[in-house]
Structure 1
Amino acid sequence: MHNHKRVSSMSTAPFGIGPNTPLFRKSTSFPVTHLWLQDSKYKYPKTPNTISLTTSLSQIFYFFFFHMCRPKRNTNAIDPKKPITVTATNEPPTSASTDPITESTRRDSSKNSYSYSSTSTSSTTLSSARRSLPQNPTIYSFSDISSATNNFRSTRISSNSWRCSLPSASDAVVVHRKIRRRIQPPQLHRLLFQICKCHHVSLARLLGAAVSADNLYLVYEHAAGANLADCLRSPKNPNFTVLSTWISRMQVAADAAQALEYMHHYTGLDLHLVHNRIKSRSIIVTEPSFNAKVCYFGAALLAGEIPGVIEKIKPDTATKMDRSDSRSMRVERTVGYAAPESSKDEVVSQKSDVFAFGVVMLELISGEEPVQYRYDEKRRDVYERVSVVERAREALERGRVRQWVDWRLKDSFPEEVAEKMTRVALSCVHVEADQRPDMRRVAGKISKLYLQSKAWSERMGVRTDLTASFAPR
């Protein structure tokens, strides 16, 4: 057994550091362990006090060395573990930036020398999207419209539309309509403001309007392109067509169907919106991807062609119909596009738009005009009136859809998809209005057929990675 000694506080420790020093105030005596430290001059036992002293000196040395020798920390650096907070201030937003996201980003970047590219990109995207949205509609005077169109002698787009330039619209189209029902100026402004809140990529944007007596002048944005009738049937060269591929015609049909679907069901307005002018000349085909835009959106509603809407906007100021108003409420019918019920009871409904769109679909498939007059060989000097609807039904019943499709496509189209498109179009031109599908169902079917046509076009496309040579080997 080993005896434990008691070592006094003044044991021979180097540098005169012992347990009574201010750094270590512990017990004055403790047992000696078996471990010994060997030194050149001193031999002393390794006590717990010396172990603590050695550890403390190492910690002090480590602290001074690393904290005095390491470089200073950059105060502008970003700590990834620390969440970024934006401090709100009571400063009012300036006129240069009224968006709260953009304003908070600006204040944060002024306090710190860094900024996030994602935040700046998102704020720029929001600002550009906000600038692209239309502003409040403008109520023009008749003198503004007359001077802009040079007294209606400027470039004429159609029989009742002119291209011009207005102070609030550098490139616009003025469309003239006859007012079928009188509208008070407050009602017109309220109705115009509701229609201008509707936005769709396939609808020409309404910018403003002007009223003069019983004449309504609507100002739309100008859509660069040509109308569908001229793209299908060139008046100068009947053998040429701009829409020379099947996929380009499917693109036009899909865009027009989605525009009508939005107009009938997804505007968010408590109004019965009807276009009442669907035809091939009211659809503009743009370049280079052959997208379609439907023109004259909201014209039928503002011109009073839809009965019951004016009373729904504000019943107390609606004027009563007199004998002259009843005569003016007669519906304008477009030859070849008017539904059968429109000539019987003078009713304008969304089913009428479905019928007219079915005729447009048949035009896209066949390239023919909605109404043709062909010479009767049996009865001489007699021309027979034939509609594209009758020719489509005859081709489908006899199984000759492939021969009926536009020959200028050069037989390059999916025959199965063309037959399905013909069936969808014929369902839209059903004699009974209740038997016609709504535009949601029509747009869904056309979108599905468009995807099938696109897959067929990619599969049948000409390969460019093949080479051929007629030289001898």
Structure 2
Amino acid sequence: EGTRLSVPLRCACPSKTQQAAGFRYLLSYLITWGDDVPTIAARFRVDLQDVLRANTLASGDTIYPFTTLLVPLSAEPTKADLSSQPPPPPPAQPPSPDTPSGGGGGSGKRWVFVGVGIAVGASLLLGTALLWFFCCRRRRQSPKAEGQKSAAEYEPWSASMTVSSSFSGKVGNVLDALSVYTFGDLEKATGSFSEDHHIRGSVYRAVINGDAAAVKRLKGDVSNEINILKQINHSNVVRLSGFCLHEGNTYLVYEFAEKGSLSDWIHHRAKGWEGSCLDWKQRVRVACDVANGLNYLHNYANPPYIHKDLKSSNILLDNGFMAKVANFGLARSVEDGEGVQLTRHVVGTQGYMAPEYIEHGLITPKLDIFAFGVVLLELLSGKEAVYSKAGPPKTECLLSGSIGEVLGAEDVREKLKIFMDPCLRDEYPFDLAFAMAQLAMGCVEQDPNSRPAVGEVLVSLSALYSSSLDWDSSDAPRSDSMVRARGELVGTRLPLSTTS
């Protein structure tokens, strides 16, 4: 029998606003190296702002190869639009009017020109080589910029440090990819790690070269996280910019997420920001962002990675509420041809760990899918992964186990309304909330083979987000009838027999 290959395709339909603007199609364009949004918009003869709005992008946002971009079109694309044609060659220069057309004299002059050209080319090549040599020599002799050192001058492996002796070998090859900071520079950036700069735990806010950053202090061997993050470049994965070793501690310098962690917003209600309750569209957007980051880690990173510690406190939000997956201390790579991985060292957070990992130490990408399902349930309910159920008696419950009781009940509509985060009130589309709950329940299935792959999850969430963009609070009374009209977003139709 042949091998079955599942290829997830991003599919979306024009929103009501796009339809009103005359757009009938949304083309899923696969981004490749060298592409940018203005070039893609020009290729399909579409206004740049229409493409930005279709993808909730801002002007100047970075797009990444091997991801997709939605291009709104008023008519089906032609074969000429879809074919990738190389740029036309520059037009040939016309011959000089005074160039002889033939004869021995013309041939002789032509050889003179060839000789002169070769001499000039050799002179330019020699001059370039000499210039490069003197620049490199001058650079070696010039003092280094304050706060950073080159790999050759940096001495993190001295005997006075208490880090493991194998650390230098593991992380030595990343020195050229990351900035290496001195401890004094980080002290200055964090106000000597003052309480005013303290975020939580061992994380501090810093200002380095005028840019905000987060500095995290860690003990022990952190080479795994450094080696992973220095290879990853994705908008939904937190970026590591540098590190410092000092007195046995490793200080990792990350991009700064202005809005903090997702758990702050859905559990503790973020302090200091107005409207600290995430609305429905923000929650679905966060879910899409996290799924996009996981999809990159599982399917496009080389080698692929399993995060192993996905939870709401390891999901950070930037100033525009874009979600970024963080904390790769437990992550593990999946090499080509490598099958099931087993471990005796089961580490994680209660409520997020999949049953096959707890019982057998089984590590597969479905481990992250289970944890992601729990995060979806947190976004829906506002509850923590392990929460206290009102008694008597007062008991602790797993959020992953409660959704089956909600969706399996006869009065599923009332049960789901009670399950939803009270912070949302009734300002959410009930049919889409049900579809998201169904997706979450599939992600937390006990059998890992019954859970969807991250590509399927991303496709379902993209459809949910596209539908959510069309929704506003005035649509709430019509939400029940929309269930039949929208069809099956995740393969299951909402039961309509309810109690009033």
- Measured against the shorter chain, the TM-score band is 0.5 to 0.7
Percentage identity across paired residues of the two chains? 28
Deviation at 1:372, TM superposition (A): 1.4
1:164 aligns with 2:206: yes
Give, in whole Å, the separation in 1 of the partners of 2:380 and 2:93. Answer: 59
Distance 1:286 1:138, change over 3 A: closer
Moved more, 144-153 or 348-357: 144-153
**Secondary structure, in 3 states, of the residue corresponding to 2:426?**
coil
Q: CA shift at 1:161, angstroms?
A: 1.7
Residue identity opposite 1:446 in structure 2: L
Q: Secondary structure at 2:471's aligned position in 1?
A: helix
Partner residue of 1:436 out of 451, 454, 460: 451
CA contact (8 A) 1:247 1:457 kept: no
Conserved 8 A contact 1:204-1:293: yes
CA change 1:84–1:331 in 2 (3 A) is: farther
Contact 1:138–1:209 (CA<8 Å) still a contact in 2? yes
1:384 aligns with 2:414: no
CA distance in 2, matches of 1:452, 1:166: 41
1:259 and 1:294 in contact (8 A); partners too: yes
- Which residue matches 2:214? 173
Identify which of 420, 431, 449 aligns with 2:435: 420
Are residue 250 (structure 1) and residue 284 (structure 2) matched?
yes
Which SS does the other structure have where 1:219 is aligned?
strand
- In the alignment, is the contact (CA less than 8 A) between 1:241 and 1:408 conserved in 2? no
Query: In the TM superposition, what whole-angstrom CA distance separates every residue of 1:348-375 from its partner, at most 9, and x where no partner exists?
Result: 5432221111111001111122211234
Does the Cα contact within 8 Å between 1:162 and 1:173 map onto a contact in 2?
A: yes
In the TM superposition, residue 283 of structure 1 has moved relative to its aligned partner by 1.7
* Structure 1 Cα separation of the partners of residues 296 and 249 of structure 2: 28
What amino acid maps onto 1:286 in structure 2? D
Structure 1: how far apart are the matches of 2:200 and 2:424?
28
After TM superposition, list the pairs within 5 Å mapping 1:126-165 onto structure 2: 136-140=177-181, 145=186, 148-149=189-190, 152-154=193-195, 155-165=197-207
Unaligned runs of 5+ in 2: 1-89, 95-116, 133-175, 478-500
Secondary structure of 1:420's aligned partner = helix
Distance 1:236 1:419, change over 3 A: closer
Aligned to 1:363, which of 369, 375, 378?
Answer: 378
Determine helix, strand or coil for the equivalent of 1:456. coil
Q: Which structure would you say has the larger Rg?
A: 1
Q: How far apart, in 2, do the equivalents of 1:374 and 1:85 lie?
A: 81
In structure 1, the residue matched to 2:416 is 401
Is the CA contact (8 Å cut-off) linking 2:403 and 2:437 kept in structure 1? yes
Aligned to 1:448, which of 456, 463, 472?
A: 463
Match of 1:285 in 2: 317
2:356 corresponds to: 341
Q: C-alpha displacement at 1:401, in angstroms?
A: 1.9
2:386 and 2:396 in contact (8 A); partners too: yes
Output the CA distance in 2 between the equivalents of 1:247 and 1:161. 29
Distance 2:185 2:379 in 1: 39
Structure 1 residue runs of 5 or longer lacking an equivalent are 1-81, 99-134, 313-325, 463-473
Shift of 1:209: 2.9
Q: Which SS does the other structure have where 2:397 is aligned?
A: strand
Residues 336 and 420 from structure 1, CA distance in 2 versus in 1: closer, same or farther, beyond 3 angstroms?
Answer: same
Match of 2:77 in 1: none
Aligned to 2:58: none
| Secondary structure of residue in 2 paired with 1:233 | helix
Report what 1:457 is aligned to.
472
Whole-angstrom CA distance in 2 between matches of 1:159 and 1:211: 19
Please say if residues 376 and 440 of structure 2, whose CA atoms lie closer than 8 Å, have aligned partners that are also in contact: yes
Q: Output the CA distance in 2 between the equivalents of 1:332 and 1:144.
A: 34
Aligned: 1:273 with 2:305 = yes
Partner Cα separation in structure 1 for residue 431 and residue 329 of structure 2: 38
Q: Which residue identity is paired with 2:359?
A: K
CA distance in 2, matches of 1:461, 1:219: 44
Q: The residue matched to 1:354 in structure 2 has which SS?
A: helix
Deviation per CA, 1:424-446, whole angstroms, max 9, x where unpaired?
A: 11111122223322211111111
TM-fit CA distance, 1:273: 1.5
1:32 aligns to what? none
Query: Quick one: distance in 2 between partners of 1:340 and 1:376?
Result: 26
Aligned with residue 235 of structure 2, among 191, 201, 224: 201
Distance 1:300 1:333, change over 3 A: closer
2:430 counterpart of 1:411 = no
User: For 1:458 and 1:236, how far apart are their aligned partners in 2?
Assistant: 24
Deviation at 1:142, TM superposition (A): 5.6
Match among 224, 227, 234 for residue 261 of structure 2: 227
Corresponding letter in the other structure for 2:311: K
- 8 Å CA contact 2:269–2:277 kept in 1: the answer is no
Retained in 2: the 8 A contact 1:331–1:342? yes
Specify whether residues 444 and 224 from structure 1 end up closer, same or farther in structure 2 by C-alpha distance, changes over 3 A only: same
Alignment root-mean-square deviation, CA: 4.0
User: In the alignment, does 2:297 pair up with 1:263?
Assistant: yes
Q: Distance in 2 between matches of 1:341 and 1:218?
A: 32
The one-letter amino acid of 2:236's match is S
Post-superposition offset of 1:143: 6.0
Partner Cα separation in structure 1 for residue 227 and residue 180 of structure 2: 10
The secondary structure found in structure 2 opposite 1:278 is coil
After superposition, the C-alpha distances for 1:17-42 in whole angstroms (9 at most, x for unaligned) are xxxxxxxxxxxxxxxxxxxxxxxxxx
> What letter matches 1:284 in structure 2?
L
The SS at the match of 1:393 is helix
- Give the aligned residue type for 1:282: N
Cα distance in 2 for residues equivalent to 1:351 and 1:147: 43
Q: CA 1:397–1:282 in 2, change beyond 3 Å: closer, same or farther? A: same
Paired residues of 2:314 and 2:325 also in contact (CA < 8 A):
yes
Q: Would you say the 8 A contact 1:331–1:348 is kept in 2?
A: no
Q: Alpha carbons of 1:209 and 1:264: their partners in 2 closer, same or farther (altered >3 Å)? A: farther
C-alpha spacing 1:376/1:409, structure 2 compared with 1 (3 Å): closer
Contact in 1 for aligned 2:429/2:475 (Cα 8 Å)? no
Q: Relative to structure 1, is the Cα distance of residues 192 and 376 closer, same or farther in structure 2, using a 3 angstrom cutoff?
A: closer
Paired positions, count: 303
CA deviation digits over 1:20-79, x for unaligned, max 9?
A: xxxxxxxxxxxxxxxxxxxxxxxxxxxxxxxxxxxxxxxxxxxxxxxxxxxxxxxxxxxx
Structure 1 pair 213/424, CA: closer, same or farther in 2 (3 Å)? farther
Letter in 2 for 1:295: A
Contact 2:277 2:423 in 1 (8 A): no
CA distance in 2, matches of 1:384, 1:192: 40
